[in-house]
Structure 1
Amino acid sequence: MSCFSKKEMEPLEADKVKELTIVLLGKVGVGKSASGNTILGNEGGFPIATGIRATTMECCKKHNEINNRKVVVVDTPGLSNLNRTNEEVVAEIKRSISLTDPGPHVFLLVLKFGDRFTEEEINILKIIRSTFGKNTNAHTMILFTNKDQKPKEESEHYIRSNKDLLGLVTACKWNYHVFDNNDQEHNEVPELLEKMSTMVQKAGGLVYTPEMLKEAETELRKQEQDAGKEGKSVSLEIPTYAGVLVGCATGYLAAGGGTMTSAAGAAIGGGVGAILGAGVAGLVMYVKGYFDPKTTRGDWL
């Protein structure tokens, strides 16, 4: 169901989108900064990495006037950074929303055309999705970077070759583009801008707002709390049940030569075993940090 009302969704002609604000997202080394430079032309200037090490360590904002339209691009640090945790990178990426006041029109998710769509890419998408929340898809376009422009048929074959990649593109309503950052003439920029303008037009010209980010943060905290409760419950249950079984068996056997019945011994042993099992579970959970309020969601995955 759409999160926009009918009034908010009144048509806005693509050629009337006089300003485009874009936030570049993706992992290290996929060509985010180079894509930003290609979009902005001679007014680019984002530093470009020569290897897998990141050069963009904080959000950087630049703009240019292109075909009578102001285009603002915010480059962000790449995820899967060798020198920073994803949590540190995400904290910086969030700053892009305030840099684009009142907010970006488009999240341009940069992927390398032809690369295998691995678990790493899937995890990065989960991080982006959980960071920006349910409103992400309506504002996301996928940009595949590649040395050579590919025909549409080859692009679609690549997308359909992986179910997870196909699911991503489908969720973004097939809003994607293939870019050649080595094209010195920047011939693909007008088409990309037109695609983004059409996407913005369909969204009624609305932007992703700081309020949407706060909503996403609240939802993520709730998910973390729910996951924490579930994780603690499971962690307690296993050793507790084990303690009950061991206690019952011990009590039953010990009662065989004593004054109490085997049934009574088993009951007493089971109770003692449950207490000991829960105690051991609590100690293990404490050591592992389950009770630490700073525990991250990743601990329960």
Structure 2
Amino acid sequence: MDHLNVNLMLVGRTGDGKSASGNTILGRKAFKSRPSSSSVTKVSELQNGAWEGGQIVNVIDTPGVFDLSLGVDYAAREIVRCINMTKEGIHAIVIVFSVRNRFSREEESIVRTLQVLFGTKIIDYSILLFTGGDDLEEDDNTLEYYLTHDSPDSLKDIVASCKSRCVLFDNKTTSESKKSEQMGKLMGMVNEVKKGNGGQPYMHDLCSTMTVEAKVKRG
């Protein structure tokens, strides 16, 4: 029944809502989460839950592996370790940003670092998840408007490279219909990514530890 499994890996900067988004995806408090500038998640962790039709969703929550203070060496090894957590590989990499925070150099470096370490193909597996949907709603704003009018060119370039696979999450909502709508949009994009990659997940052999370590040393 492995074909019913969906394996997602959450990456992003500390404080942008990775763990909270993982909890929203799974529909339960599986990961420790709190607004903080220091990472609550210390080691990568895999949790799972059920989606429609009996589909099992495996979510890997990573520490702030792209926090610049930790270095690219740490990021590379931790991402490889995450990919090895699932025998099937990763179906989608969910890059988490927050509309509450100014788009920073750290966030800009996430996609670039992924590409340097694992090749440009990694973008074909990437989905952008923006947290802070409640803030945009309070301002009577939309994600589309935010990305068009309130974001820097560097973020617009990332959105374009990911073929506009963007979803907005309100991790504070208690509305079951909103939760279902958010998950529906995300899973629709996951299925789009799977289809675009011929159903083949991102496997460890595409980013062997030796290759990654060589790139780290060159960098």
For the superposition of Structure 1 and Structure 2, which TM-score range results when normalised by the shorter chain?
0.7 to 0.9
Q: Find 1:173's aligned residue among 139, 163, 168.
A: 163
Whether 1:154 aligns to 2:142 is: yes
- Bigger radius of gyration among the two: 1
Shift of 1:34: 0.5
Whether 1:141 aligns to 2:127 is: yes
SS at 2:33 equivalent: coil
2:105 paired residue number: 119
1:203 paired residue number: 197
User: In 1, distance between residues paired with 2:49 and 2:24?
Assistant: 11
SS at 2:9 equivalent: strand
How many residues align? The count is: 208
Matches within 5 A, 1:1-301: 18-42=4-28, 44-68=29-53, 69-79=55-65, 81=67, 84-148=70-134, 150=136, 154-160=142-148, 161-184=151-174, 185=176, 186-187=179-180, 188-214=182-208, 218=211, 221=214, 225=218, 297=219
Deviations along 1:257-301, one digit per CA (max 9) or x if unpaired, are xxxxxxxxxxxxxxxxxxxxxxxxxxxxxxxxxxxxxxxx2xxxx
Contact 1:79 1:124 in 2 (8 A): no
User: In 2, distance between residues paired with 1:128 and 1:222?
Assistant: 11
- Label 1:150 to 1:203 Cα distance change in 2 as closer, same or farther (>3 A): farther
Moved over 6 A (4+): none
Higher relative contact order (CA 8 A, sep 6+): 2
SS at 1:206 equivalent: coil
Contact 1:113 1:146 in 2 (8 A): yes
Deviations along 1:79-114, one digit per CA (max 9) or x if unpaired, are 355984453244223211000222100000000024
- Label 1:84 to 1:199 Cα distance change in 2 as closer, same or farther (>3 A): closer
Contact 2:65 2:78 in 1 (8 A): no
Contact 1:53 1:82 in 2 (8 A): no
Structure 2 length normalisation: TM-score?
A: 0.83
SS at 2:134 equivalent: coil
State the superposition RMSD in angstroms: 2.7
Contact 2:11 2:62 in 1 (8 A): yes
> Matched residues, percent identical?
28
Contact 1:130 1:220 in 2 (8 A): no
SS at 1:136 equivalent: helix
Deviations along 1:99-138, one digit per CA (max 9) or x if unpaired, are 0222100000000024322322222332222232222111
1:10 paired residue number: none
Segments of 5+ residues of structure 2 without an aligned counterpart are none
More deviation, 126-135/95-104: 126-135
User: In 2, distance between residues paired with 1:222 and 1:95?
Assistant: 16
Contact 1:54 1:81 in 2 (8 A): no
